[in-house]
Amino acid sequence: MSRTFHRLFVEHPREVDESYFHHMAASSRFGFRLLKLASCAFMHALVPGVHKATVSKAVCCMAEEMDGRAREARECRMRDAGVWDPGL
C-alpha cells in the first residue's frame, strides 16, 4: 500500500521538482483553463462565428507552456544527476 501511495502521490511531483501542493495548483490551473476552452469549443460548434480561433490559439500557448515546464524539470533532473552541461 505504501509503495502505491508513493507512486501515485509522490513520484511524479518529485520528477518535475515540485511539491504535491505546488503540482496540484499548477495542474488545476491547466484543468480550469481547459474547462473554459471546452465551453468555448461547444459554443463555436453551435454558433460557428464565435470563438473562431480562441481554442486553437490557447491550446498552442498551453502546449508551449507545458513544454517549457517539462524542459525545466528535465534540466533539473540532469543537474541533480550530475550530468548537466549548460553548453548543450
Residue 49's pLDDT is 96
Residue 46's pLDDT is 97
Residue 88's pLDDT is 54
In the chain, the amino acid numbered 22 is H
Residue 28's pLDDT is 96
Q: Could you give the residue ranges of the DSSP H alpha helices within the chain? A: 2-6, 12-15, 20-46, 54-81
Q: What is the pTM of this model?
A: 0.71
The series of mean pLDDT values per 10 residues for the chain, 88 residues long, is: 87 86 94 96 97 95 88 77 65
CA distance 67 to 72: 9
Residue 51's pLDDT is 96
